[in-house]
Amino acid sequence: MPILSLAEPEWLRSISKTQSKAEELLARTPDEQNRLGYFHTLREICQQPTTWTQTCSLMLSCAPTLKKSLDGLASLILTGSGSSEYAGDCVRQVLQNELRVTTQAIGGGILLTDGSKALPVGRPAMMVSLARSGDSPESVGALSVVLALEPEIRHLVLTCNEAGSLAKTYQDHSRVHVITTAEGTNDQSLVMTSSFTNLVLAARFLGLTEQPEAYRTICERLSKIASDLLNTQFDNLARLASVRFLRAVFLGTGSRFGAAREAALKMLEMTAGRVTTLCETYLGLRHGPMSYVDKDTLVVCFLSSDPTIRAYETDLLHELDQKELGLLKLIIGEDVPKGVLRPNDVVIECRGLREVGDQNAPVIDVVVGQLLGFFRCLNEGLRPDSPSEDGIINRVVQSFTLH
């Protein structure tokens, strides 16, 4: 049996003790892991339970400043590009309900092209800019545009890179507050993994600045669920990724639709487009997109814990089965009913998911999507750290002209 280096952190060594695929991947030397192109991505996925508690502590320490920024708001804007936009999707609904203000997630590119016309009308407002590196053209550009056009909008930057253009440019700006997550969350892999979930949890705190212990409890419970997931389902997801599906559909409701968007992007990016993807709501799938689901399609289902929502979702899953659509289903939830399963379907049971609620579940869903994309990337003979071999996409979007 190969021996894992004691230099590896305990959270990584613990996974290899129960999951044979983790043991296999980690038994190779760091140089070999780098040659095969998975050194960074593997660690960035597996470090998430630990980094979430670090982000929790960081945000709690920022509570006084954030309370002041949120005081008297009429609207809240969450902006970012690509995965960073989807991070805003994951928290938009819960923040709107907790803060009782109009809340929108708006892509950075839309702010560049449409300016003030894209913004909610309520003032004063706060714009939260989410970014891993903060070096993509939209990051600085969108914030610059809104600062110039909208003097009544306050600004918060949540980024994983203190050396990025977004953080450096606005660190001392009187209308901008910058918070940078721990250095290790600035993923070196092409795709966002731990940066994504930490940005989600950082933004999530905005709805709980008056309930710090509730926020701490949520982060700790999510960390435990994710740790259990990595220590029990790593091998199962590796096996599933070896099934020769050519398409994947990701389904989610409410906040978990944001997770579906991100998980679909992870599969698309990590397979360099070899597995095509679609994300939809359960009810939206019936309105045309169901035609995408053929015999080679994996259907990934983020299953709600809310009884009413789950009833709608399971009705759709029964319909897929009745129509014999899809190669198989992967269902992520707690107490998944056996009646929605076909013989080859796979269930990822996440104990504690009901307790944290659907509004906090997206980060767990996304970890499943990350692992699925990671393993399929390896099965395709690609390198997870840099799966776009021809350079079509890059870790940071290349510079383009801002008009």
Residues 132 and 227 both lie in one domain: no
Where in 281-376 does DSSP place strands (E)?
A: 297-302, 328-333, 346-349
CATH number at residue 184: 3.40.50.10490
On whether residue 289 sits in a domain, the answer given is yes
Query: Helix (H, G, I), strand (E, B), or coil: what is residue 295?
Result: coil
pLDDT tens-place string over residues 288-329: 999 999 999 999 999 999 999 999 999 999 999 999 999 999
Domain-embedded: residue 352:
yes
Judge if 206 and 224 occupy the same domain: no
Express each pLDDT in 324-351 by its tens digit. Answer: 999 999 999 999 999 999 999 999 999 9
Picking from 188, 210, 232, the residue at the C-terminal end of a domain is 210
* CB count in 10 Å sphere of residue 288: 9
Q: Are 165 and 280 within one domain?
A: no
Does residue 183 form part of some domain?
A: yes
Position 90 in a domain: yes
Residue 61 lies in a domain: yes
Whole-angstrom Cα distance, residue 157 to residue 180?
8
> How many structural domains is the chain composed of?
2
Report pLDDT digits (tens) over 172-214.
899 999 999 999 999 999 899 999 999 999 999 999 999 999 9
Q: Using pLDDT thresholds of 50, 70 and 90, give the confidence band for residue 148.
A: very high
At 139 the pLDDT is: 83
Evaluate if residue 111 carries a pLDDT over 80.
yes
Give the 3-state DSSP-derived string for 130-163, with helices as H, strands as E and coil as C. Answer: EECCCCCHHHHHHHHHHHHHCCCEEEEEEECCCC
- Are 163 and 278 in the same domain? no
401 located within any domain: no
Provide CB contacts within 8 A for 158, sequence distance 6+: 128, 129, 130, 131, 179, 181, 199, 202, 203
Q: How many CB atoms lie within 10 A of CB 391?
A: 8
Domain boundary among 210, 240, 273: 210
Q: Is there a single domain that holds both residue 127 and residue 91?
A: yes
Give the residue-averaged pLDDT of 205-227. Answer: 98
d(CA 247, CA 166): 36
Cβ neighbors of 49 (< 8 A, separation 6 or more) are: 11, 223, 224, 226, 227, 230
Give the C-alpha separation, 191 to 197, whole Å. 12
349 and 223 fall within a common domain: yes
Please report whether residue 287 resides in a domain: yes
Confidence (pTM)? 0.94
Are 88 and 205 found together in one domain?
A: yes
237 with 175, same domain: the answer is no
Three-class SS state of 276: strand
- Residues 230, 294, single domain; the answer is yes
Q: Is there a single domain that holds both residue 191 and residue 253?
A: no
Structural domain span for residue 328 = 219-379
- pLDDT single digits (tens) 5-63: 556 888 888 899 999 999 999 999 999 999 999 999 999 999 999 999 999 999 999 99
Looking at the structure, do residues 138 and 259 belong to the same domain, yes or no?
no
* Whether residue 190 is found in the same domain as residue 275: no
205 is a domain residue: yes
